[in-house]
Amino acid sequence: MTTVAKLLPYVQVLLAVLLVACILMQRSDAGAGGVFGGADNWNAGYHTRRGFEKFIFNATIVIAVLFAAASLAALLVK
């Protein structure tokens, strides 16, 4: 149990770096106008992800869930 407690901070840092990288690699076409409903593109909300964009989107979700689980585990181990 102590090895898990010593390893968890490193796992959390690695997952945090991967999560930030995945978020930054995603496409961001919506500007401030899109936030308030004044988007230039009328179908901006109906974008279908394909290929690498879909992979990054799914990877971001998986890494976020793993990060949350690692954080919860860190709370329970201490």
Question: How confident is the model at residue 64, as a pLDDT?
Answer: 97
DSSP track, 6-52:
HHHHHHHHHHHHHHHHHHHHS-----HHHHTT--SSTTTT-PPP-TH
Query: Which range of residues forms the domain containing residue 76?
Result: 1-24+52-78
61 lies in a domain? yes
Domain count, the chain: 1
1 lies in a domain? yes
Task: Return the ∠ at Cα 63 (arms to 27 and 46), rounded to 5°.
Answer: 35
Among 57, 56, 52, 33, smallest CA distance to 44 is for: 33
13 lies in a domain? yes
Q: Would you write out the chain's pLDDT as a tens digit for each of its 78 residues? A: 788 889 999 999 999 999 999 999 997 765 555 555 555 555 556 678 889 999 999 999 999 999 999 999 999 987
38 lies in a domain? no
pTM, to two decimals: 0.75
